[in-house]
A and B are shown apart, each in its own frame.
Chain A
């Protein structure tokens, strides 16, 4: 069945360093991928998305990389700040249908 998972449940980085959060997905038919940030007690916040016809997309301080060959997705956050502390989820969908979420990675920032 469909599943989207993450390699690491927690990630700690020094403030100012770059963060890389990874995600593995299993549905090769997925054509749309999104990264969300979720702070405690709140709903998911959209960060960046990418379609399957692309392998890289950049936003403000964030970059998403998609490797369809190994079904891997990553989120890179440049110059990590304390406000980046949260749980990050990757999610996938097929043909604009339902969204399947990965397990999540908790990112903590060390001062």
Chain B
């Protein structure tokens, strides 16, 4: 059974870079059938798609975050990562990683989520 697990610092200072990793277990990140994505949810608010990556390294970003986001993949470790630069309090959120089927883009497997707070 495929599982995703987010990891990274829970507290980031304003203007610094948020870095998170999603570890995939029970399956291969190198499957040609899936995208691997990041989604966030600020406290009390809705879901926001941040971006996705294919195992080949092709990336897709939310236009509103594109200038600050980098998503990368490490197939040798079965992991993909998120970097969000120049963070502010508005980036405080629960960050989820998820798998999307490329045939229909539904996100069928999610990590449990990790809370990141931006504060000095």
Answer yes or no: do A and B interact.
Answer: no
Residues of A within 8 A of B (CB): none
Residues of B within 8 A of A (CB): none
